[in-house]
Amino acid sequence: MKKVRAGSVLAVGLGLGLGLAYTFPPSTRRPSTIVHLFEWRWSDVAQECERYLAPGGFDGVQISPPTENIVVTSPPRPWWERYQPVSYDLCSRSGTEQELRDMICRCNNVGVKIYADVVINHMCSAGAAAGSRSTCGSYFNAGAGEFPSVPYSACHFNDDKCFTRSGNIESYQDIHQVRNCRLVGLRDLAHDQEHVRGRVAGYMNKLLDMGVAGFRVDASKHMWPEDLKAIYSRLHNLNTTWFPEGSRPFIYQEVIDLGGEPIKGSEYFGLGLVTEFKYGAKLGSVIRKLGGQKLSDLKSWGEDCGLMPSEKALAFIDNHDNQRGHGAGGDAIITFWEPRMYQMAVAFMLAHPYGRARVMSSYRWDRRLVKGKDENDWMGPPSLPDGSTKPVSIRSDGSCGDGWVCEHRWPPIRNMVVFRGVTAGEPLCNWWDNGGSQIAFGRGGRGFIVINNDDCLLDVSLQTGLPGGTYCDIISGQREGGGCSGKRVVVDDDGKAHFTIHPSDLLPIMAIHTDAKLPK
């Protein structure tokens, strides 16, 4: 079986023509950043919400699909088995339904929202043998289209609407194939049927009633927008234990639109936010200086350089698909394997006001590159001999071990999440560049960032727009009580400050914000 793409879409106050609006759930904290804790166990997510995410100002967590899925034992437990559901029962290698409920409750109690990755386009591969294992032990016969735990039978799939010889998508230039045929062999659900709509909405409503704040909707590109609209119209309001009465779920949908295909991300704007896959691809190519590009080109970053409108976009540098070389972006995508460039890209994303930001939290795998392709991109999370997922190990310095990468815990990324929260709602201002790959910009009167991606020294005085005083550079350190563990930046009363960044610095970035100002 092959790998399956997975994606996201966010809904922000966009009417569906049904008197409904899909919005960010209210929060007492300033809106900030979503973190994707890819393949984490529910018990580990709960602990992370309490000990790290809430104190660190993270808005919410995207969790891996919670539904029962096929268990693939050869090769052992690939990550993509999570995207091959066999029922809507809530047991997976992340944990049981009770553990899921406990995690949702504990995260909501500390103000961190849960966004569930939902796989509703399809069931598992038609090639899965009858009697194959599943995470809850449910029986299914994918070849016959039998999933009695839902229940679905052969009549609930789109086989009669797909006219390719293989039954799979053979051309992405044909919208009917993309939305009615099987994505790499996965049984494609007929969402125009009332039974299917009801079962999908019922699954999503169970999660909402448990306290989930919204959804990443996988493979949205492969579903007709009118079918998604009908399903979303049936969704419950958020649980009033944690959210104000009448709050609607926050929805972000995966639509890979790099241009050149008839299906456009804009078709889904009325339903929620859309994953902007061009974001990581374009920014990665600039930071890599491909084709002579330079950071100063980012002055027009946003819709003017071909991205979707900011208010429609989920922005991200990489996701669990394209960090493995598939799912859009190609060689331009920067990942944790290149930590210096990666932190530069994430810092820019979290400082810039474009879109709603999501950061990745990954695990390592044994890479095996053959002619540029990673032969081991299927490998699942760090696991015990029985195939169960290992706990996330936290070292004394706050970093993760035992195969877990935890980019969200890297100090510069953690501190830039705070920067994004502090500067939320503030306009981009005081742009400066040297015509090459040295840039700086502010966010109103609350934050300022400087990046040097040139091979020469950056040594310049700039207008920051910040109040006068001494600030901690949150890239080299952070404010600790009345002191600073990193560089200090003195802002004069007129808002100007001097910055020096050597190209050989561990990270060629400096950033300050008003919450990092030292007391007099």
Mean pLDDT, the chain, rounded, equals 92
6-28 mean pLDDT: 36
* pLDDT greater than 80 at residue 74: no
Q: What is the predicted pLDDT for the residue at 326?
A: 79
Closest C-alpha to 20, from 200, 232, 175, 317 = 232
Q: Considering only residues 404 and 30, tell me which one the structure prediction assigns the higher pLDDT.
A: 404
Q: What is the pLDDT of residues 170-226, one digit of tens each?
A: 999 999 999 999 999 999 999 999 999 999 999 999 999 999 999 999 999 999 999
CA pair distance 84, 70, nearest whole angstrom: 6
164 pLDDT band (50/70/90 cuts)?
very high
Catalytic residue flag (residue 245): no
Question: Is the CB of residue 285 less than 8 Å from the CB of residue 293?
Answer: yes
Q: What is the predicted pLDDT for the residue at 31?
A: 58
Q: What is the pLDDT of residues 471-517, one digit of tens each?
A: 999 999 999 888 999 999 999 999 999 999 999 999 999 999 999 99
Query: Lowest mean pLDDT: which of 6-10, 190-194, 232-236, 498-502?
Result: 6-10
Q: With a threshold of 0.85, does the pTM exceed it?
A: yes
Reported for 470-473, long-range contacts at CB under 8 A and 24+ positions apart, including other chains, are: 470/517, 470/518, 471/512, 471/513, 471/516, 471/517, 471/518, 472/512, 472/516, 472/517, 472/518, 473/510, 473/511, 473/512, 473/516
Could you identify the residue written with the tokens 């029986």?
139
Q: Which of 89, 254, 257, 377 is catalytic?
A: 254
Q: What is the pLDDT of residues 268-319, one digit of tens each?
A: 999 999 999 999 999 999 999 999 999 999 999 999 999 999 999 999 999 9
323-344 mean pLDDT: 91
Q: What is the predicted pLDDT for the residue at 30?
A: 54
Q: What is the predicted pLDDT for the residue at 130?
A: 66
Count the Cβ atoms, other than its own, within 10 Å of residue 170: 13
Q: What is the predicted pLDDT for the residue at 481?
A: 82
Q: What is the predicted pLDDT for the residue at 8?
A: 32
Question: Is the CB of residue 355 less than 8 Å from the CB of residue 420?
Answer: no
Q: Considering only residues 289 and 76, tell me which one the structure prediction assigns the higher pLDDT.
A: 289
* pLDDT greater than 50 at residue 336: yes
DSSP assignment of 253-310 equals E-----SSSS--GGGGTTTSEEE-HHHHHHHHHHHTTGGG--GGGGGG-SGGGTPPPG
Question: Is the CB of residue 118 less than 8 Å from the CB of residue 216?
Answer: yes
* pLDDT greater than 90 at residue 15: no
131 pLDDT band (50/70/90 cuts)?
low
CA 296-322-388 angle, to 5 degrees, is 140
Q: Which of 44, 48, 218, 276 is catalytic?
A: 218
Q: What is the predicted pLDDT for the residue at 6?
A: 34
Catalytic residue flag (residue 218): yes
134-160 mean pLDDT: 96
Backbone torsion region of residue 180, taken as left when φ is above 0, otherwise alpha when ψ lies between -120 and 50, otherwise beta: alpha
Pair of tokens at residue 440:
């700086």
* pLDDT greater than 50 at residue 26: no
Write phi, then psi, for 90 (nearest 5 degrees).
Answer: -100, 65
Between strands 400-401 and 428-433, the pairing is unpaired
363-390 mean pLDDT: 90
CA pair distance 480, 472, nearest whole angstrom: 9
Q: Which helix (H) or strand (E) holds 209?
A: helix 194-210
What is the chain's percent helix, strand, coil content, to nearest 5? 25, 25, 50
* pLDDT greater than 50 at residue 76: yes
Please report, for residues 36, 85, 237, 409, the alpha-carbon distance to residue 200 in angstroms, rounded to integers and kept in the order given: 23, 12, 16, 35
E strands in 363-508: 369-370, 373-374, 393-394, 400-401, 428-433, 438-443, 447-452, 458-463, 469-472, 479-480, 483-484, 488-491, 496-501
334 pLDDT band (50/70/90 cuts)?
very high
What's the chain's length in residues?
A: 520
Q: Which helix (H) or strand (E) holds 252?
A: strand 250-253
375-403 mean pLDDT: 94
Please report, for residues 185, 229, 260, 261, 520, the alpha-carbon distance to residue 174 in angstroms, rounded to integers and kept in the order given: 17, 22, 12, 9, 65
| Alpha-carbon radius of gyration of the chain | 23
Question: Is the CB of residue 501 less than 8 Å from the CB of residue 509?
Answer: yes
Query: Lowest mean pLDDT: which of 70-84, 95-109, 208-222, 407-421?
Result: 70-84
Q: What is the predicted pLDDT for the residue at 23?
A: 42
CA pair distance 286, 318, nearest whole angstrom: 15
User: Residue 460: which residues within 8 A CB-CB, separation 6 or more?
Assistant: 432, 434, 438, 498, 499
